[in-house]
């Protein structure tokens, strides 16, 4: 039986660059690290969040108060590892579920990732909402560290702006996800999630995954029917090599992008991207589909968004976020290319937008 009482004796704290300090107790790996503090409003799906490469460089604060109830298992992972910098929660629970094979604390510890529990996540979330995402430093190691020094380390951290984190999370070499399908897709891996690959496979696509730094020539050499641009972490403007590749591919082959891939498609088309105050992170964000008039509940994870006033005439907006009116989808008016900011593969999350994979297939069919 896991000794929760003993675990609670390991004091820990999260120090923000604005000087605020949130105290609690540590679980997972006892290591110190810097990162960007954000909050996720999903009620479940913490293992999928942990294994989403788009969270690389970030401390994810879960707004749901009780975490760990259903444990962890090998079936719910969304990538080959854990890429976030740490997990911040209110209450850690002992798992009780027939699918559980490992506790959340044990899962984090085995993967070398720290967690902090026992803090007022509601207060932290309100602060991040009001003041914006914060550079932070998480202290869970046994070595003593003053709170003032932790604040200084948070302020000194380079942050995510202007940083190429896709290079840190991408696969090292090309690989085939599946070998069956009547359409062949070359997928750029900027931090791709497994459920995206499953979504394409379920819609009759044979997928070859390419590293983030692959060139347009690398993709075209596969003679694909379409090219997919994946989700991923940090600042899209830092991926100049990807923007150049997409600009070369545009008009030569059908394109479809998700999340970071959406931002990169916009940048390659001549739009500009800017940072959101606290980002969109959760599986309950309403988006209006301007093509159908329907409101779709979506899963989201991003800190940057395309600037509407910079969108070139060749692109049209297809989706709008109903919380802040930011762009959530675009398509090219004359070429077979489209993208969305949210996650239609929904892991975790709803399935309202799952038809987008079918629409990508239709682009290739036409």
Residue linked to tokens 């916009």: 266
Enclosing H/E stretch for 20: none
Collapsing DSSP states into helix, strand and coil, what is residue 123?
A: helix
Active-site annotation holder among 36, 48, 296, 345 = 345
∠ CA 354-356-357, nearest 5°, is 85
Q: List Cβ neighbours of 236 (8 Å cut-off, separation of 6 or more).
A: 243, 260, 263, 264, 267, 273, 304
| Sheet order of strands, 315-321 included | 175-176, 205-211, 183-189, 226-229, 255-258, 337-340, 327-332, 315-321, 273-289, 295-306
φ/ψ bin of 303: left (φ > 0), alpha (ψ from -120 to 50), beta (otherwise): alpha
Query: What are the φ and ψ backbone dihedral angles of 210, each rounded to 5 degrees?
Result: -110, 145
What is the Cα–Cα distance from 20 to 269, expressed in whole angstroms? 41
Is residue 246 within 8 Å of 279, Cβ to Cβ?
Answer: no
Cβ atoms < 10 Å from Cβ of 263: 29
CA torsion sign for 53, 59, 62, 65 is positive
CA 151 to mean position of chain CA atoms: 26
What is the Cα–Cα distance from 205 to 31, expressed in whole angstroms? 42
83: nearest Cα among 117, 59, 109: 59
Active site residue 259: yes
Active-site annotation holder among 48, 139, 259, 285 = 259
CA 268 to mean position of chain CA atoms: 21
Active-site annotation holder among 280, 285, 319, 343 = 343
Tell me the catalytic residues.
Answer: 259, 343, 345
């Amino acid at each position: 039986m896991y000794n929760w009482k003993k675990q609670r004796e390991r004091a820990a704290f999260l120090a923000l660059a604005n000087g605020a300090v949130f105290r609690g107790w540590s679980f997972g790996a006892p290591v110190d690290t810097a990162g960007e503090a954000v909050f996720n409003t999903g009620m479940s799906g913490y293992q999928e969040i942990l294994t989403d490469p788009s969270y690389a460089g970030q401390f994810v604060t879960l707004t749901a108060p009780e975490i760990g109830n259903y444990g962890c298992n090998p079936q719910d992972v969304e990538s080959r590892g854990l890429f976030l910098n740490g997990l911040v929660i209110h209450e850690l629970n002992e798992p009780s579920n027939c699918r559980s094979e490992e506790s959340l604390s044990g899962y984090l510890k085995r993967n070398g990732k720290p967690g902090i529990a026992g803090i007022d996540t509601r207060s932290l979330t309100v602060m991040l909402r009001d003041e914006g995402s914060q550079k932070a430093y998480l202290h869970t190691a046994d070595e003593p560290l003053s709170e003032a020094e932790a604040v200084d380390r948070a302020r000194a951290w380079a942050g995510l702006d202007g940083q190429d984190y896709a290079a840190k999370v991408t696969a090292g070499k090309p690989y085939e996800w599946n070998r069956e399908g009547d359409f062949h897709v070359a997928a750029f891996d900027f931090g791709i999630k497994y459920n995206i690959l499953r979504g394409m496979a379920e819609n009759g696509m044979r997928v070859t995954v390419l590293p983030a730094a692959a060139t347009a020539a690398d993709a075209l050499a596969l003679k694909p029917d379409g090219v997919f641009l994946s989700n991923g972490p940090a600042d899209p403007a830092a991926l100049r090599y990807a923007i150049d590749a997409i600009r070369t591919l545009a008009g030569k082959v059908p394109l479809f992008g998700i999340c970071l891939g959406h931002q990169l498609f916009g940048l390659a088309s001549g739009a500009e991207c800017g940072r959101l105050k606290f980002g969109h992170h959760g599986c309950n964000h309403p988006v209006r589909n301007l093509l159908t008039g329907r409101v779709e509940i979506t899963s989201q994870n991003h800190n940057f968004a395309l600037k509407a006033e910079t969108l070139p005439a060749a692109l049209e907006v297809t989706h709008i976020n109903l919380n802040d009116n930011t762009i959530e989808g675009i398509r090219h008016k004359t070429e077979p290319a489209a993208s969305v900011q949210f996650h239609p593969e929904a892991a975790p999350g709803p399935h309202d937008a799952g038809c987008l994979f079918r629409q990508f297939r239709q682009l290739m069919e036409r």
